[in-house]
Amino acid sequence: GFLRTDDAFILRFLRARKFQHFEAFRLLAQYFEYRQQNLDMFKSFKATDPGIKQALKDGFPGGLANLDHYGRKILVLFAANWDQSRYTLVDILRAILLSLEAMIEDPELQVNGFVLIIDWSNFTFKQASKLTPSMLRLAIEGLQDSFPARFGGIHFVNQPWYIHALYTVIRPFLKEKTRKRIFLHGNNLNSLHQLIHPEILPSEFGGMLPPYDMGTWARTLLDHEYDDDSECNVDSYNTPAKDIEKDLSPKSMKRSQSVVDPGVLKRMDKNEEENMQPLLSLD
């Protein structure tokens, strides 16, 4: 009796899944509590909300068409696509949670889970300065501690030194299970391909498929509400426009298209491969 009728996702999830493990139900209860503790974040929690819509159209998140060899959905984020003049980091988190709520209704993904690839190419130090401790804590509480989904791997690609330093700061706050699933590849395509086969990856990650279209998942979620205009209400998630640094927006970014040039990641030669240190394996 602890659920309200307006918690549509939770009710649908309960109907769709037979809880064979206490852990799954515990996470669902924690996600409900997370939503109750952050009510403002879940106001206008729909794909057509201006901030969420723009984040979705910029690929936050994106989803590859093919599942990996474990049957997991591959989500991709191109960090440099974050246009801070149009939406906030909270809007990105809201877009990710909304997307996960839609995807997790697939029984296959409830069992197999997700893999996340974050490409940090061209992500500036000024953009990184917006990754505040409070915002990171909000994301960790929502994704690691609450949301009822399995993440089999979180892969960082082309991360600059300041992202590596930031990860070092937040690492103590991550569960051991989460830490084992985070891989810092840098520009090492070979180590990424050891875990995710290049046959199902777009060319931005050295894969055999064409460049990823950022609007793919947005068109699926928004359907006829998707449009190609570039206008967006800046006042998303109750954030005053004066507080948003417009000079941080990518100046020549093409909408619904990666800002990362295909094939820019470095491939290792055979000598480097022999000296490559093994990565942590998924348990």
Structural tokens at position 109:
């993904």
Q: How confident is the model at residue 259 (pLDDT cuts 50, 70, 90)?
A: very low
Cα gap 40→96, rounded to integer Å: 16
pLDDT for res 70 = 94
By three-state DSSP, how is residue 122 classified?
coil
Residues 47-96 have pLDDT tens digits of 999 999 999 999 999 999 999 999 999 999 999 999 999 999 999 999 99
Number of neighbours of residue 1 by Cβ within 10 angstroms: 3
Tell me the CATH architecture of domain 46-222: 3-Layer(aba) Sandwich (3.40)
- Return the percentage of the chain with pLDDT > 70, whole number: 71
| pLDDT interval class at 17 (50, 70, 90) | low
Q: What is the mean pLDDT of the chain?
A: 78
The domain segmentation of the chain, as residue ranges, is: 46-222
- Angstrom distances, CA of residue 272 to CA of 75, 138, 201, 276, 277: 29, 39, 22, 6, 10
Please say if the pLDDT value at position 258 is more than 50. no
Question: What pairing do the DSSP bridges indicate for beta strands 73-78 and 62-63?
Answer: antiparallel
Residue 4 has pLDDT above 50, yes or no: no
Residue 115 has pLDDT above 80, yes or no: yes
Angle between the N-to-C axes of helices 89-103 and 133-143, in degrees from 0 to 180, rounded to the nearest 10 = 10
| Model pLDDT for residues 217-240, shown as the tens digit of each residue | 999 999 888 885 544 444 444 444
Cα separation, 136 vs 39, in Å, equals 18
